[in-house]
């Protein structure tokens, strides 16, 4: 029973865990659980992959020169 509560808590925390201070006590607890729990590991890996794909899809675009020129004109710069 105790294990289930922890598992559920970890699944909720996985998203908070990503990109945060991995040395924080809460993150260490999540990391330790994930190492032993294949289901949570898969969930974390697939969420990470999702975010990576979205970042690649939405990567920074260079500001077009004409857009910047129009901006400077409007702002009188």
Residues that bind other proteins (CB under 8 A): 4, 7-8, 11-12, 15-16, 19-20, 39, 42-43, 45-51, 53-58, 60-63, 67-68, 70-72, 74-77
Whole-number minimum distance, CB 68 to other proteins, in Å? 6
User: Is the Cβ–Cβ distance between 25 and 33 less than 8 Å?
Assistant: no
**C-beta neighbour count of 43 within 10 angstroms:** 16
Which residues have CB under 8 Å from 26's CB, separation 6+?
13, 16, 17
> Please, which residue, 28 or 48, has the CB nearer to other proteins?
48
> Please, which residue, 22 or 54, has the CB nearer to other proteins?
54
């Amino acid at each position: 029973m105790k294990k289930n509560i922890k598992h559920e808590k970890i699944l909720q925390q996985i998203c908070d865990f990503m990109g945060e201070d991995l040395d924080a006590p809460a993150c260490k607890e999540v990391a330790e659980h994930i190492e032993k729990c294949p289901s949570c590991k898969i969930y974390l890996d697939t969420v990470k992959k999702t975010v990576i794909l979205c970042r690649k899809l939405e990567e920074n675009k260079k500001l077009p020169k004409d857009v910047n020129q129009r901006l400077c004109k409007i702002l009188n710069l």
